[in-house]
């Protein structure tokens, strides 16, 4: 077998392979002989069909199967002989496949190139530092009261803090989902639309041309200018519950005291803050790693990642009540972030290999328990993770990434960045 490899651009390679005709013909004859032992043809006893009859009857299909099988087999033999690591599936093009002649084909594919990691000793990474204040706890109590607030319809014009329920269309189409019909003035989800509702009352109509915020939760609409034709169905004001024993006990605080309630809130907020700081450090560490190592990302892997991200976005929109017919996503819009994820993944894998990081069962168990702690029934969540090998594999990958982040932080110059609980949580939503 003869093999030649040509570098086209970046990680792409073009390989030409030539396979001796003898190997092809020998395999065809072997398969025809094996087939003759089991095939049933009218006029011949089982196992007694003449080879010439078999060749005339089954030769073309057997040849086609052999050519396909040998193409795949010899390609991977050639890859191994050239010490290349595939980054995706190859594209085959047969050039010569005539009976009696050597099989010659061409394969275009991408490879994982050797990554030479740049030193991180000159990189600065800021580690967020924060503490939870009494004001933060007060804010959390207020948030919980608003979550339990009762919306009471009122016969007056809408004002700050009210909820306006509307019906109507966006660009001639019905509203995307039930949540989009309820506009809370001052919530900051869609400030222009919220302000347009100030002063409206039940039965009022509004025709508006507004641009959705770039960070609008429904990605399909983010940054898009739309034509609204709305009718106000109800205006409601929120009535907050009192922070009394009944309210406190509803959060499983057994003694129902304000002191215990605030202590439990502080513990929960401390956990949230720790997770937010960890997420921020991880994002900054991996971004620093990529900035020092701007490697080429194999196109096939970028396309695969973009396809995965697009499907995840689609499922999210469906979960938000967006009709499937209204979801119009295109893969290119995801490719910038997909490329970044592939690049970081390759760099992380190289560090894991170089540093010989390993994941032990006790580390996986600890991470699973940490993930499960946010569920209503942690024990069930733990069982759910361990019921599927793919889920555990994803946890193992998280543990490896944590080890890589720790390694990066150990290499870089780390400074402290003072921040606050609220700011950390806002940033976490954008990571």
Q: Per-residue confidence at 325, pLDDT binned at 50, 70, 90?
A: confident
Q: Could you say which architecture CATH assigns to the domain 124-131+248-428?
A: Orthogonal Bundle (1.10)
Strand partners, 106: 16, 93
Q: Could you say which architecture CATH assigns to the domain 150-239?
A: Roll (3.10)
The 3 state secondary structure assigned to the chain is CEEEEEECCCCEEEEEEEECHHHHHHHHHHHHHHHHCCCCCCCCCCCCCCHHHHHHHHHHHHHHHHHHHHHHHHHHHHHHHCCCCECCCCEEEEEECCCCCCEEEEEEEEECCCCCCCCCCCCEEEEEECCCCHHHHHHHHHHHHHHCCEEEECCCCCCCCCEEEEEEEECCEECCCHHHHEEECCCCCCHHHHHHCCCCCCCCEEEEEEECCCCCCCCCCCCCEEEEEEEEEEEEEEECCCCCHHHHHCCCCCCCCHHHHHHHHHHHHHHHHHHHHHHHHHHHHHHHHHHHCCCCCCHHHHHHHHHHHHHHHHHHHHHCCCCHHHCCCCHHHHHHHHHHHHHHHHHHHHHHHHHCCCCCHHHHHHHHHHHHCCCCCHHHHHHHHHCCHHHHHHHHHHHHHHHHHHHHHHHCEEEEEECCHHHHHHHHCCC
* pLDDT digits 0-9 by tens, 214-227: 878 776 678 889 99
* pLDDT digits 0-9 by tens, 44-63: 777 777 888 888 888 899 99
> pTM value?
0.72
d(CA 255, CA 245): 8
Strand partners, 229: 169, 207
Q: Where are the domains of the chain?
A: 2-110, 124-131+248-428, 150-239
Mean pLDDT, residues 63-78: 92
The pLDDT value recorded for residue 179 is 54
- Crossing angle of helices 389-411/361-372, nearest 10°? 100
Give 305 or 50, the one with higher predicted confidence: 305
Query: Considering only the top CATH level, what class is 2-110?
Result: alpha beta
> Is residue 177 predicted with pLDDT exceeding 60?
no
d(CA 95, CA 93): 6
Q: Which of 208, 164, 163, 173 is nearest to 322 (CA)?
A: 173
Mean pLDDT, residues 88-97: 84
Handedness of CA 282, 284, 289, 295 (dihedral sign): positive
Give 196 or 318, the one with higher predicted confidence: 196
* pLDDT digits 0-9 by tens, 383-394: 999 999 999 999
Give 300 or 204, the one with higher predicted confidence: 204
d(CA 351, CA 117): 8
* pLDDT digits 0-9 by tens, 103-148: 999 999 999 888 889 999 989 999 999 999 999 999 999 999 988 9
The pLDDT value recorded for residue 178 is 54
Give 178 or 422, the one with higher predicted confidence: 422
């Amino acid at each position: 077998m003869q093999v030649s490899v040509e570098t086209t651009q970046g990680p792409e390679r073009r390989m030409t392979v030539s396979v001796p005709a003898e190997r092809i013909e020998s395999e065809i004859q072997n398969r025809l002989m094996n087939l003759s032992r089991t095939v049933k043809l009218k006029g011949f006893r089982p196992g007694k069909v003449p080879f010439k009859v078999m060749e005339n009857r089954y030769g073309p299909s057997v040849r086609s199967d052999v050519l396909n099988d040998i193409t795949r087999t010899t390609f991977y033999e050639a890859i191994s002989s050239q010490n290349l690591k595939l980054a995706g599936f190859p594209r085959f093009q047969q050039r010569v496949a005539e009976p009696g002649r050597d099989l010659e084909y061409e394969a275009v594919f991408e490879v994982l190139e050797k990554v030479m990691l740049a030193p991180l000793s000159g990189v600065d990474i800021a580690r967020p530092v924060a503490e939870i204040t009494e004001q933060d706890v007060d804010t959390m109590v207020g948030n919980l009261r608003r979550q339990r607030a009762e919306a009471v319809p009122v016969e007056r014009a809408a004002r700050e803090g009210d909820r306006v329920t509307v019906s109507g269309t966006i660009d001639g189409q019905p509203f995307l989902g039930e949540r989009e019909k309820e506009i809370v003035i001052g919530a900051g989800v869609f400030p222009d639309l919220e302000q347009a509702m100030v002063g409206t009352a039940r039965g009022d109509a509004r025709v508006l041309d507004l641009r959705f915020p770039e960070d609008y939760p429904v990605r399909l609409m983010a940054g898009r200018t739309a034509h609204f034709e709305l009718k106000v169905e109800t205006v409601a004001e929120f009535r907050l519950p009192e922070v009394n024993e009944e309210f406190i006990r509803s959060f499983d605080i057994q003694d129902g005291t304000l002191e215990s309630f605030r202590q439990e809130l502080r513990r929960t907020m401390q956990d949230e803050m720790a997770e937010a700081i960890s997420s921020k450090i991880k994002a900054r560490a991996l971004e620093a790693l990529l900035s020092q190592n701007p490697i080429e990302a194999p196109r096939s892997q970028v396309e695969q990642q973009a396809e995965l991200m697009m499907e995840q976005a689609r499922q999210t929109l469906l979960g938000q009540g967006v009709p499937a017919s209204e979801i119009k996503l295109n893969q290119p819009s995801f490719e910038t972030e997909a490329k970044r994820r592939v690049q970081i993944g390759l760099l992380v894998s190289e560090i894991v290999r170089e540093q010989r990081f390993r994941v032990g069962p006790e580390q996986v168990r600890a991470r699973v328990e940490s993930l499960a702690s946010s569920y209503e029934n942690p024990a069930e969540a733990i069982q759910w993770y361990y019921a599927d090998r793919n889920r555990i594999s994803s946890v193992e990958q998280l543990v490896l990434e944590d080890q890589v982040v720790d390694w990066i932080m150990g290499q870089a110059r780390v400074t402290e960045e003072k921040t606050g609980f609220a700011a950390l949580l806002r940033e976490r939503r954008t990571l």
